[in-house]
Amino acid sequence: DAGVTQSPTHLIKTRGQQVTLRCSPKSGHDTVSWYQQALGQGPQFIFQYYEEEERQRGNFPDRFSGHQFPNYSSELNVNALLLGDSALYLCASSLVSRGEQYFGPGTRLTVT
Amino acid sequence: GQQLNQSPQSMFIQEGEDVSMNCTSSSIFNTWLWYKQDPGEGPVLLIALYKAGELTSNGRLTAQFGITRKDSFLNISASIPSDVGIYFCAGLGTSYDKVIFGPGTSLSVIP
């Protein structure tokens, strides 16, 4: 049973560029959430997708957008990258009826 | 907004000792989750708690959902070197809510 997978593992981008991160949920899960984790801090909620709709959103600007596909996989897009966007981006999947979330290994984004 | 506090911030213990850490909030949560994160990896779910007063174990780990629903506790018995890492508590109101994470407790185990 495959767990949550994310790609790519690492990414280096230049300020002002755009980036797309990808996530495949754990088998059987229908909900995907995205988090940003800066060094030395806990994960910060970006948004959650269920039934291809954004259901909840944290305090992140509109530069952060996402998408969920019919197979429940998801993408996180960040436009006009800033140096402060450098972080570990985590995807977590869950069942809509259950609160427990399972995390992927993350994508390390570095903005130079 | 909702915020979680974890204590202690960090701890250094001898191998074989028991560990206790806690998580408090000014808000009520219906679910408490405990995660462990190793450097450069995603958090791993240790224990999920769904009911006030609930006490749940997972091997050497035991966690409790506080009666007030504003706190939770995690205990690790007979610590071993692989327990090293950062432990995060997380709370949510319903399964539809965003998960709020605490700042973490860093655990170091001295062999």
Share of chain B above pLDDT 90, in %: 86
Q: Is A10 on the interface with B (CB under 8 A)?
A: no
CB contact under 8 Å between A56 and B96, yes or no, is yes
What pLDDT score does B95 carry?
A: 61
Q: How confident is the model at residue B96 (pLDDT cuts 50, 70, 90)?
A: low
Q: How confident is the model at residue A1 (pLDDT cuts 50, 70, 90)?
A: low
Q: What single-letter DSSP state applies at residue A71? A: T
Nearest C-alpha neighbor of A85 from the set A58, A64, A56, A59: A64
Residue B27 token pair: 């808000």
Is B8 a residue whose pLDDT tops 80?
Answer: yes
Chains A and B form CB pairs within 8 A to the count of: 67
In tens, the pLDDT along B62-84 reads 999 999 999 999 999 999 999 99
Nearest C-alpha neighbor of B35 from the set B16, B55, B21: B21
In tens, the pLDDT along A22-66 reads 999 999 999 999 999 999 899 999 999 999 999 989 999 999 999
**Which of the residues A10, A100, A103 would you substitute to probe the B interface, choosing the one with the greatest number of B C-beta atoms within 10 Å?**
A100
Contacts of B30 in chain A (CB under 8 A): 99
In tens, the pLDDT along B23-59 reads 999 989 999 999 999 988 999 999 999 999 999 999 9
Measured CA to CA, the distance from residue A84 to residue B12 in angstroms comes to: 31
Mean pLDDT, chain B, integer: 93
Residue A96, Cα to own-chain centre: how many angstroms? Answer: 17
Contacts of B72 in chain A (CB under 8 A): none
Residue A11 token pair: 């990414």
